Amino acid sequence: MEYKALLFCLIASILITPLVKKIALKIGATDQPNHRKVHKNVMPRLGGLAIYLSFALGILFFFPNSDYTWPVLIGATIIIITGVLDDLMELSAKVKLGGQLLATLVVVFGGVQVDFINLPFGGQIEFGYLSIPITILWIVGITNAINLIDGLDGLAAGVSAIALLTISGMAITMGNVFVVFAGLMMLGSTLGFLVYNFYPAKIFMGDTGALFLGFMISVLALLGFKNVTLFSFIIPIIILGVPISDTLFAIVRRVIHRKPLSAPDKSHLHHCLLNLGYSHPESVLMIYAVSSLFSLAAVIFSQATMYGAVIVIAMVLLMIEMIVEMTGLIGKNYKPILNMIKGPKQK
């Protein structure tokens, strides 16, 4: 039944996306090229609406009676409305954040929150009053992290698809039926859209899609790993290693250069790969590969002993550091490990 749901949403997305493209062009929801953008032509956006509609049809048809269905669907609808308005008229950062917070509060009060974490040596940490703030911070943070990596054709959709596949697969082993169904339906909807979004893209997902994907991934990750062990709580962080790392280092860059945190730049991971001479599709495929490595690390981590888990974390952190240094994600001169490997310069 789960795979029928995936196939249903995949086909629905393939059929709905061209209709959304026509609507976007008709109402002027287009992305204009500028000095920050990679594309050179006017492109229809709003593609995220196709992902949302496909998912909504799927979950209402296959899984309408779950306790989480309506809170998640209502929250997602608020996110979609926020994204559509932004794609049409470019909302201010405060208004967009307000929409995200409203959507997050809907799912939080619908039962999506982390109440406690079981410790590996026994006992647990009760979050108490901090439960809601922690949950809000997670959902809003991941929502914006996916939005930040939406810079190349097929990038955000592909990275999201890898994360959704991993979350769904792990939910199957944990017996979490809602996350399995919702995750696979989101996967099918995203892959159907990716048919039109991979390079050269015929339509962009826009903030409509990036915010929706980030919101749904953050919610499903919480539902899949809530109230679990301290180490298991790290799993969704590893799965989302690419968008989380890219966001954190964007913050570091802006702090170093004393720029506002909301200030845009062209130093994200995909920009760095392009600057190194890789082509548009090569850069996207390389980031797919890195995302897949993070997901594989998360799966290994979930099955490892405590000491094995520590080793996996160390390897993941080393991989992130090497990517940062090799791509110049913080700065071209930041290469402590690479410089140490090369040894002191000869005079």
- List residues forming the annotated binding site for Mg(2+): 147, 207
Contacts of 39 (CB under 8 A, 6+ apart): 31, 33, 153, 201
Binding-site residue ranges: 147, 207
Distances (CA, A) of 97 to 84, 203, 205, 287: 14, 25, 19, 27
CA neighbor of 62 nearest in space, from 194, 180, 143:
180
Whether the CB-CB separation of 322 and 332 falls below 8 Å is answered with no
d(CA 202, CA 270): 20
Burial class (CB in 10 A: 0-12, 13-18, 19+), 277: exposed
Measure the CA–CA gap between 92 and 89, rounded to whole angstroms. 9
Alpha helices in the chain (DSSP H): 2-27, 48-62, 69-89, 93-108, 131-148, 155-174, 177-197, 206-225, 235-239, 241-256, 269-275, 280-303, 306-327, 336-342
Token output for 201: 């893209």
